Structures are given as C-alpha cells and as structure tokens.
Amino acid sequence: MRKPTLALLASMAAVLVSTTGASAVTSSRVSSGSPPGNTPQNHQNEPALALDAISPNILVAGSNDFVDEQACPRPLAVNNGTCLDRATGVGVSGVYFSFDSGHTWAQPAYTGWTTADCDPLTPCKGHPGPIHTLPWYYESQLVSFGDPAVAVGPVRGSDGKFSWGNGQRVYYANLTTAFSTQVEFSFPNPVFNGFVGIAASRLDNPTAASVLAKSSWQPPVIVTSTQGQTSFYDKEQIWADNASSSQFFGHVYICANDFRSNGSHKNGNSPVPMQVFSSTDGGSTWTKRSVTSAATNGLGPNDFGYSGCTIRTDSKGVVYLFAERFANPAITGLPTHSAQVMFKSFDGGLHWTAPSVIAHVTDPCYFIDPVEGRCVMDGYAGARTDLAATPSVSIANGAPTGAGATDEIVDAWADAPVLNGEVADFIYSTNGGTSWSNPTAVSLAGDRRSTRRRPSPPMVRVPTSSTKRTRRRGPAPTSTRPDRTTACLSARRSDRMGRRPDGRPRSMKRQETSWRLIQATTCTRSGWATTSMRPPRTTMESASGPLRRMPPSAPRSRIIASAPTPPDIEFCPEHHGRWPTARRTSATQTSSQPRRARLLRHVGERAASGRPFPTRVVELWAADRLLSA
C-alpha cells in the first residue's frame, strides 16, 4: 500500500540503462511529471518495471507517486505532523513509458481527481482536474491506492487465441479503495467488498502518441471481486505468460496476500492466506485460488505466514510462485531467520504443489517498531525492511517465442547476516527449482559494504551508578574506595557467522558464534587503565567439557555475581540494541560461590594462556575484575 514516508530518490530520479560499454551507464529521470521541490508531490516509492518482449525498446514503469497530492498543507503539518491527508480520494499509482530502451521517459497527464493545485495554507478535499496517475479510477468511484505491478503480454484475437501479431497489452495491477473525501477506507464498501482490493488497468499497443490519450486505457477491473467485507489485500505482483511456446501463452497471473478481518501486522493476529488470481481472457475476468492456509500463529507449516510473492512462467507454461515464509520474532527472537519457498502449477494456476524451501535468509529485522509493529532499519520510526529478503526472480523463458529457452531461474534478495552488514545474495537453478546453487554475495562495497567475513566489534558497557559520566584523566580525587566503574569490552566475531560450510544458516539449536576479548578499558577515580589480549581462535574447554557458545540472537545470560554491589550491564549504543539489556541478579538468582569462583578461575587461566571464551563468561570475568579493582 502507499507509504508517504518513504520517498525513494532512486525511483524518482533515475533508471540505469546500458550504453556503449559494460560498465558505462547513464541515468534518466522516470517521473518526469514530478515537480522539483514540493513535498509530498515530489515523493515516489516502490517502483516497478516491465519490458515488452516483442519490442524490447518499450518499457513501462509504475510507482507510488504523490504528484497529484496537495503541497504540504500547513495546518495539517502543524497539527498532525504529516503532509498527507489520507481522506481526499487522490490516486497515487504513477505510470511512465519509455520507447528508447529507458533513455527518456514520459509521464502522461490525464484527468481525474486532484488536490495538486490547492492552496497549501488551507485544507483541500480536491476537485476534477489534470492528474499524472492511472486514469478512470475517479470515474469508477475508486482510488488507485498504489503497490504498482506491471507486465506486458500478447493481445487476444477475435478467435479467442493470443498472438503477438494481435499486438501487445500493458497490464497495471494496483491496490484500490472506494472513493471518499471523508474517510480513507469506507465500511461497508459501497463499490466492492473489502477495505482494500486489487484492480487491473489495461492499455493495448502502446506508442509515444497513444499513451498520452486517456481513451487508450480501459477502465479498471476489480480482480478481487469475491473478497470479504473486512478483507484487506496487499503485496500483489503480476505476470503475463509471454512465451508463445507455452501451453498457457497469454494467461495473466496475480499473486497477493489477503489480510482477513482487517487484521494488523502485529503478533500475526490476522489470518493471511496467499492467493493467486489467473485470467484467460486478457484480464477481463479472474479466477481465485488459495495457495496456502490462513494460519499465521508462528507455529506449524506456515510459521508467521507468507508474503512478498513473485510469480513467473517458463517456456512450457509452468507457473512458479515464490514467497518468503517468515519466522515469528516472538518465538525466534531478532533478527528473524526465515525461508524462501517455491510453489509450482502445471495447469495454469488452478492447482499448486506443496511449498519447497529454496533458500534460508536472515531478515534485516533487528528492530520492530512498537507503534507500527513492522521491522525497520536505523532504529524506531525508521524505514521498513520487513520485505527486503523476499525473492526477486526471473526465468529465462526465451520470450517472445520460447525458442532455445534454458528456463534457468535466478533469484536475488537482501540478506543481513549482521547489523549494517547487508549483502545482495544470489542463487540459481537450472533444473526447474529441483536444486539450487549456494547463495553468493554479489553486492559491491559501498555505503553498507559486505561485512560477512568480519563485522565491526560490538561494544558492551558497564555503567557507573552516577548519572554523570565524564571521562576523567589526571590526578585522582581523594577517596577511600574506588568509584563504580565503567568498562567497554570489545569482542570480535569469528568467521563462521553461524552458517554451514555451504553458506546456509544453521538452525537455532546449532547456530554458533565464538567471541574473543580484544580490549577491556576500566575507568575509576584514579583514571583509565587498558588491558589488551588477542588470544588465538581455539576451542574453549573446561573440566566438564566444551562450554556452549551462544547464538547472536539468543538472550545473554544474567551476570552471576555475589559481590555486595554488582554492576548493572547494558549494551553500548554502537551495538544498536541487538542484545537485550541484562540487569544484576537478586540474591536468590545468583549462582553459588564455588561455581562463580570456578568460572572466574577458569577464565583467568584461559585468558592468560591465550585461549578464547564465550561472551557470557567475558561479562562475568569483567564484572568481577572491575569490582575488585
């Protein structure tokens, strides 16, 4: 659905296209109708792109485009902290065309409902006027609600058969709601059942001249015409079978999630089946199939539910449906380790196989926003990242004819093995998804370069009891005993990163990480003292056997200390809250003195001999050393 807070500059400003050399690229502005400086009119996000297989110089793109919205209304910004009035009936499904392989782009102007020319000093509910988004929605008492999905396929002839000789058809699927200037979602919906549905717009034989005419577009068709009144569709994608060798050539498919009972994203408390809609007549009518059950309780075969679907076809007409099966963060902790799955249909989308796991992924989900209930980056209120690890798939189906097709499948996604160490992973299959290559990181070094081999050291801090934390150097003040101390322990993770040799993540029970103490810095009233140790990476063992290493997502054990005033342990901001805060234990929670003494003695001996030790024991050792300083 539309997201006004995520203004992706890439979708607004440029698409990279190849020129004369393999490394030579030029950029061209896609959203050419966007004003240069007005917020939110210059915002776009969630871009989509499709290529015409029979005429590859023709490209069609879509995005959530706020070009038809009112320039930030001052009363709304002051009183509500937003520039977007969600109850105006203004559409946001922007559409763009290129006829020279992406070098130049056109964003046509049609007529519809707009607030773009309203005075920003006063609220405005809109009026008919020029728009730069999909046409015929206002006239159909609908709103183009975003989540663009585009595809190009053949036109169906009068004989009922599809052929490239009949021309090309552009399909634009998006979310839709009932038109209203009073509420964002009408209930009950006077136009169709449900809060949010899916609609498909169609345009035949695009040319530089024809795409400028509103009459070239057919009125939108409600794809989800059989949904429930409390249903909320989201995350749809579209594909047209564009290889003439396919037995289902010309068929169109849409995958989406049906959030029933208008359930929120929090706690998996809404039934969410993943569904596929298929059309055999060029998008005029649609048949629905539920591919998964609606359960999203975090247990059983559905885990936390499926989302982020992609749908494609091979040269024979086999339909492939890909999605991510999410892990429940309430059960597994953060970050979540989810799975990409694949379904197949051999009869044009009417029946589907059981899911097969094609890849294990680590979601870039180190924070869950407490208000929105979604995975975000850069802390609370940050940009959403919950769909970053969903599959992005293409199949070499040999379109437009299918001749000589290899039907090789490629899949890429954003994986987050460590915080701020995201990489673009890539896998492929040459046998219809029966087996897959090992994930390969293909992203280049940049703003967030790959740190799969060696992440930046996280920090652990033992704070003082005072609220004023000042680094003091020089002569120590007079005192009969040392002040409560502050220490930072810098640990560096080993190369294994909790993954198997083939690159797949280990299960939660077997995921391992070893830590090495690099430096401990203590601060007392007498100044600073630093101790550095760099033990080799060897297995740490005790008299009772190897000490179990903890996975990075597991809660860290409480500090075991029987000293009169043991310090609280918290984690430095540099670690971005990855581990939960550990507080001191009560007298009833502390371990026995002999056990504590044995552990401390063991750590001291291993540290002196240059052997590594788990983080839990590092914290224990550090707390004892600081208290005894």
Q: What is the pLDDT of residues 154-182, one digit of tens each?
A: 999 999 999 999 999 999 999 999 999 99
Q: How confident is the model at residue 295 (pLDDT cuts 50, 70, 90)?
A: confident
State yes or no: pLDDT of 565 exceeds 50: no
What pLDDT digit, counting tens, does each position of 445-460 carry? 765 544 444 343 333 3
Tens digit of each residue's pLDDT (9 = 90 or more) over 28-83? 899 999 988 888 999 999 999 999 999 999 999 999 999 999 999 888 888 888 88
User: Are the C-beta atoms of residues 232 and 264 closer than 8 Å to each other?
Assistant: no
**Taking a C-beta distance cutoff of 8 angstroms, is the pair 15, 90 a contact?**
no
From residue 70, give the alpha-carbon distance in Å to each of 30, 42, 43, 136, 552.
21, 11, 12, 20, 47
Dist CA 437 CA 425 (whole Å): 11
- For residue 607, the model assigns a pLDDT of 54
Report whether pLDDT(617) > 60: no
Confidence category of residue 606, pLDDT binned at 50, 70, 90: low
Span 265-278, pLDDT tens digits: 455 557 889 999 99
pLDDT of residue 27: 84
Residue 520 and residue 460: Cα distance in Å, rounded? 10
Mean pLDDT of 128-153: 98
User: Over 60: is that where the pLDDT of 537 sits?
Assistant: no
Which residue, among 622, 336, 347, 253, has the nearest Cα to 460 in the 3D structure?
622
Please write the tens of the pLDDT for every residue from 457-494: 333 333 333 333 333 333 433 333 333 323 333 333 33
Residue 552 pLDDT > 70, yes or no? no
* 214 has pLDDT over 50: yes
- Tell me which of 24-33, 312-321, 433-442 is least confident: 24-33
**541-542 and 527-532 strand pairing:** unpaired
Residues of the chain with pLDDT > 70, as a percent, come to 65
Q: What is the pLDDT of residue 370?
A: 85
Express each pLDDT in 147-156 by its tens digit: 999 999 999 9
pLDDT, average across residues 93-97: 98
Q: Which amino acid is at 254?
A: I
Instruction: Please tell me the distance from the alpha carbon of residue 132 to that of residue 257, in angstroms, as a whole number.
Output: 28
On the question of pLDDT at 611 being above 70, the answer is: no
Mean pLDDT of the chain: 75
The pLDDT tens digits for 349-375 are: 999 999 999 999 999 999 888 887 888
| pLDDT for residue 44 | 95
For the chain, what percent of residues have pLDDT higher than 90?
51
Indicate whether 505 pLDDT > 90. no
pTM attached to this predicted model: 0.70
Residues 6+ apart with CB under 8 A from 431: none
User: How do residues 516-525 score in pLDDT, each as one tens digit?
Assistant: 332 333 332 2
State how far the alpha carbon of 243 is from the alpha carbons of 309, 314, 395, 461, in Å. Answer: 21, 8, 11, 60
pLDDT value for 471: 35
> Mean pLDDT throughout 387-408?
97
Lowest pLDDT segment from 217-226, 399-408, 444-453: 444-453
Contact predicate 415/392, CB 8 Å? no
pLDDT at 12 over 80: no
Q: What is the mean pLDDT of residues 395-403?
A: 98
- Kindly state the tokens that stand for 13: 């400003």
Which pLDDT value is given to residue 127?
A: 97
| 337-344: average pLDDT | 97
Distance CA 316, CA 397 (A): 8
**pLDDT for 102:** 96
pLDDT value of position 380 = 79
| 564 vs 58, more confident | 58
Check whether 551 has a pLDDT greater than 80.
no
Structure-token pair, residue 26: 């030029």
